[in-house]
Structure 1
Amino acid sequence: MNLRRLKYFVKIVDVGSLTLASEILHVAQPALSQQLATLEGEFNQKLLLRTQKGVVATEAGKVLYRHAQMILRQFDQARADVLNAGRSLAGQVSVGLAPGTAASTLALKLLQTVQGRHPQIVLHINENFGTTLCDVVRSGLMDMAVLYGGESPVQGLSFDPLLTEDLCVVAPAEMVSKPGDLALRDLRDVDLLLPCTNNQLRRYVDQAFAAAHVVPRVVAEMESASTLAAAIASGVGATILPFSVARSVAATSSVNVCRLVSPTIEVPLAMCVSDHLPLSEPAQVVKGILLELVGALDLQGGLHRTLLNHARVQVVDHE
């Protein structure tokens, strides 16, 4: 087995067609078919099935596809690290920031800082659900992610705790008369706009309501921050968010932000990386910058507890 053969196989699966893969790779289709047959012979497994619409991976092919992606990505990292040894850092680094988290408010600052310090690093920022981000980090398709959760072990992943935040209610003035503390039971008859049920933040909220024996009145589920802010401003309902995000939503309209008490709901923010795939040098530097920015978050009112030791956060600077 060689890297070229794996590259061909990945491209065939990606485009779902031997003919199209042949054109993209500039390899004659008979030669491409021969490479595929050799690969299937090496594994003694059928890797692709031909259909009227093209080709699809078999179960064995899907397994090889995942591993091939990781192998090719690691090789690209190794080649870039060797070529750039002693030079300015260069390469691609992917970072996942779960929407609705404190870290998601740092996307622009992260991009500006990386570009300012290491202009040859190409940063890819992905905002997606925490479960999806975990999957792509574990498979090696993304270098790191910042998301809520991480208390329970997950095979293939390592979590570093960053900080914890208290959850707040963001509501139109007619629903919540003034800022301050608000007991969870006071939300019993309030129309709520919450993330979907597979969202990690929603899970913390549902657990708190269940523990308080309160059934929330969820009138809509949404993930878009802009749509959420507009819905709250128009009086459709209230929402529950970490303070850092609640503050940014409240800044766009006239609403009240109240800290939830009785019980207080705390959510942990964590850095997620693969526990078996090493980070490239550029990725290590970007991770350091991200930790630096998270450690410097200004969450007013004592609504967060930073778990990082700011004095120990060091960013390696290669010139």
Structure 2
Amino acid sequence: MFSFVRIVDAGSITRAADILHIAQPALSQQMTALETHFGQQLLIRSKQGVEPTDAGRALYRHAQVILRQVESAQAEVSVVGRELAGGVSVGLAPYSTVSSIALPLLTAVRSRYPSILLHINENFGGVLSEAMMTGRMDMALLYDAGPIKGVNFERLLTEELMVVAPAGTGLPGDTGTAVAIKDLVDLPLLLPGPMHTIRKVVEQAYEHAFEHARVVGEVESVTLMAQAVRNGLGATVLPFSVARRIMNVENLELRRIEPTIEVQVSLGTPANQPLSGPAEAVREVLRSVVANYIRTSSEADRGIQ
């Protein structure tokens, strides 16, 4: 299984043989024996390399899960009676409050479980969900998630979205007052792409008000978004805590929106396989860190009400 995965990853039996330090003919014989065992052609061989067949792709998905489980088992067995150890992967949705908990989570895990190797991946919901379904990720915090086959979800928090605009934008009303969707029709907006939850809920809010959002740019990079807003290229819509984290909010206008626009954040875990001992421990730490984040950030959030 391990050799097969390496061949698919490398796209070539020759390159895989070099990586595995195995003679190329011997590796080819292993693949022939594997195809005989399954009674299916698993690889399409050409001068350019190899590609998995449909059967090969199915085996590749299962092999990744199996290898990950073997790795977890080895880590747990090796430390029976001692501290938890092994790799644990956690996904975080970008433009989300939960990105703010990455450092506290890493700090807490390093402090409590120094032998656990924590891998944090900030990516979009579809990518993270697919990674959990295929066993390549232990858990992820996602926007408005579920139901998704193969993934269990536990709702953890609700985020209210706000307008974040350059100073002098001229939003109606006094600073600190909410603005209605109809007053934002002419506001140039920088938003993530159409598949992102924030983009979807913002456009839905405009549609419910029988208006249309004026999107002037699609920005997937959090860093670029912060720079663009501060340079006056447009406004955006984000949770206040995210705006506070990614940009210096001084000299920016932050206003609540009426009616309120909210998104839910849920913790997703694979439904088809149990979490390893280290992953269970990290999940409990994650829940604790999120709960503490909610408590400590509520006072700052109230300051703009």
Length-normalised TM-score, structure 2? 0.93
Per-residue CA deviations over 1:29-48 (Å, capped at 9, x if unaligned) read: 22211111111111111110
CA distance in 1, matches of 2:18, 2:99: 39
Question: What's the counterpart of residue 241 of structure 1?
Answer: 238
Secondary structure of 2:178's aligned partner? strand
Q: Does residue 162 of structure 1 match 2:156?
A: yes
Question: What's the counterpart of residue 212 of structure 1?
Answer: 209
Selected match of 2:261 from 265, 268, 272: 265
Contact 1:165 1:303 in 2 (8 A): no
Per-residue CA deviations over 1:224-264 (Å, capped at 9, x if unaligned) read: 22211111111111000122212224535520111111x21
Deviates more, 1:214-223 or 1:18-27: 18-27
CA distance in 1, matches of 2:255, 2:119: 35
Question: What's the counterpart of residue 74 of structure 1?
Answer: 69
Question: What's the counterpart of residue 146 of structure 1?
Answer: 141
Question: What's the counterpart of residue 227 of structure 1?
Answer: 224
Q: Could you tell me which amino acid in structure 2 is paired with residue 187 of structure 1?
A: L
Structure 1, unaligned stretches of length 5 or more? Answer: 1-5, 305-319
Question: What's the counterpart of residue 175 of structure 1?
Answer: 169
Selected match of 1:25 from 2, 17, 20: 20
Superposed counterparts of 1:69-218, under 5 Å: 69-150=64-145, 152-177=146-171, 178-218=175-215
Deviation at 1:52, TM superposition (A): 2.1
Per-residue CA deviations over 1:191-234 (Å, capped at 9, x if unaligned) read: 00000001122111121111111101000011222211111111
Identity of aligned residues (%): 47
Per-residue CA deviations over 1:87-113 (Å, capped at 9, x if unaligned) read: 111111111011111110111111111
Question: What's the counterpart of residue 278 of structure 2?
Answer: 282
Length-normalised TM-score, structure 1? 0.89
Question: What's the counterpart of residue 317 of structure 1?
Answer: none
Number of aligned positions between the proteins: 297
CA distance in 2, matches of 1:74, 1:242: 37
Q: Does residue 256 of structure 1 match 2:253?
A: yes
Q: Could you tell me which amino acid in structure 1 is paired with residue 240 of structure 2?
A: F
Q: Could you tell me which amino acid in structure 2 is paired with residue 243 of structure 1?
A: F
CA distance in 2, matches of 1:217, 1:258: 18
Per-residue CA deviations over 1:140-163 (Å, capped at 9, x if unaligned) read: 11111001112x311000000001
Deviation at 1:302, TM superposition (A): 8.8
Per-residue CA deviations over 1:64-99 (Å, capped at 9, x if unaligned) read: 101110011111112211221211111111110111
Q: What is the CA RMSD across the aligned residues, in angstroms?
A: 1.6
Q: Could you tell me which amino acid in structure 1 is paired with residue 143 of structure 2?
A: Y
Contact 2:243 2:249 in 1 (8 A): no
Q: Could you tell me which amino acid in structure 2 is paired with residue 147 of structure 1?
A: L
CA distance in 1, matches of 2:236, 2:69: 42
Structure 2, unaligned stretches of length 5 or more? Answer: none
CA distance in 2, matches of 1:198, 1:242: 18
